Amino acid sequence: MVFRHQRALALAAIAAVAALGVVGLWACPIGLGAETGADGLGYEDTPRLPDSPWRVHDRNRPQAPKVAPGSAGLSSQAATPPSDAIVLFDGKDLSQWEGGNAKGVENGVVNILKAGELRTRRHFGDCQLHIEWATPAQADGNNLNWGNSGVLFLGRYELQILESHDSHIYADGNAGAIYGQSPPLVNPARKPGEWQSYDVVFLAPRFDGSKLVRPAYFTVFYNGVLVQHHQAVLGTTFHRSLPAYDSRESEGSITLQRHGSAVRFRNIWVRPLKL
């Protein structure tokens, strides 16, 4: 009888652990543990950012105040870029990019979910970038996934793209944020499904051998509204970890992130800068 009792207890324990596991999987997005970040609104156990009262993805960090952006920042489909710009996408094909599936171009726009991660064939350092994007009109995932993409300069310094009008995550993870580091100054997001724009001046980091002599900087207009002003970048942007300069490159591909949401892109051009 004792044996049977112990066996029943063991089976009950296994069942309880399994049930907790199922609940955990259901409650927590992929890649998140069972800590405070499961709701996508941030953490209380991540490292503190240097010279800042906030942790990485701090759930107590204030959300950027909302601003209605007006109609600034958008081009028509037929708009032409400046004469010295390198056109990265004009509605036709992905010839300027590598890593993508040509079937991701539909009706003159890129669907990043179908195209896959895109990396420019050319490498860029200091540059001005114009890019237009739209998140899905209807949620195609939880708040961490809906509209999640990003523009990664040198393939590693991420200007976040995310549905941030009707939904949000932690302050340093919404649209216009330097991911995991600097929330936008304000939130001028348009409604899900509407076209939005980034106009970016990116200054690449400089190194003397292995020593960082100048960090990267972002200046960003989001729908025509300033959201990052000559903001120094702390390093490669990570989830739940401090940014760090783990590369010594001063030029690299511009990458469009595929993060499981059908984010669309159009009108992408870049002007390399000699400063």
86 with 271: CB under 8 angstroms?
yes
Stated length of the chain: 275
Out of 69, 100, 104, 150, name the contact with Mg ion by CB under 5 A: 150
Restricting to residues 160-179, which ones interact with Mg ion according to CB under 5 A?
160
Instruction: Give the whole-angstrom CA distance, residue 184 versus residue 178.
Output: 8
Residue nearer to Mg ion on the CB measure, 104 or 150:
150
31 with 152: CB under 8 angstroms?
no
Please give the torsion angle defined by the CA atoms of residues 144, 261, 149 and 195, in that order, rounded to the nearest 10 degrees: -110
Position 155 contacts Mg ion (CB under 5 A): no
Please give the torsion angle defined by the CA atoms of residues 225, 157, 180 and 211, in that order, rounded to the nearest 10 degrees: -120
Q: How far is the CB of 159 from Mg ion (least distance, A)?
A: 9
The site for Mg ion, by CB under 5 A, has a size of: 4
Residue nearer to Mg ion on the CB measure, 173 or 205:
173
Q: How far is the CB of 179 from Mg ion (least distance, A)?
A: 6
Q: How far is the CB of 39 from Mg ion (least distance, A)?
A: 18
Q: How far is the CB of 173 from Mg ion (least distance, A)?
A: 8
User: Looking at beta carbons, which residue is closest to Mg ion?
Assistant: 150
- Scanning 19-27, 67-75, 142-150, 192-200 for contacts with Mg ion by CB under 5 A, the matching segment is 142-150
Q: How far is the CB of 107 from Mg ion (least distance, A)?
A: 24
- Best CA proximity match to 31, nearest among 238, 263, 266: 238
Q: How far is the CB of 148 from Mg ion (least distance, A)?
A: 5
Q: How far is the CB of 176 from Mg ion (least distance, A)?
A: 12
- Scanning 32-40, 44-52, 157-165, 216-224 for contacts with Mg ion by CB under 5 A, the matching segment is 157-165
E strand segments, 99-176:
105-106, 109-111, 118-120, 127-134, 149-153, 157-161
Site string for Mg ion, 208-247 (x = CB under 5 A): ----------------------------------------
192 with 137: CB under 8 angstroms?
yes
- Scanning 46-54, 153-161, 164-172, 191-199 for contacts with Mg ion by CB under 5 A, the matching segment is 153-161
Instruction: Give the whole-angstrom CA distance, residue 198 versus residue 106.
Output: 21
- Best CA proximity match to 119, nearest among 273, 268, 238: 268
- Best CA proximity match to 112, nearest among 267, 262, 254, 269: 262
Q: By CB under 5 A, name the binding residues for Mg ion.
A: 148, 150, 160, 257
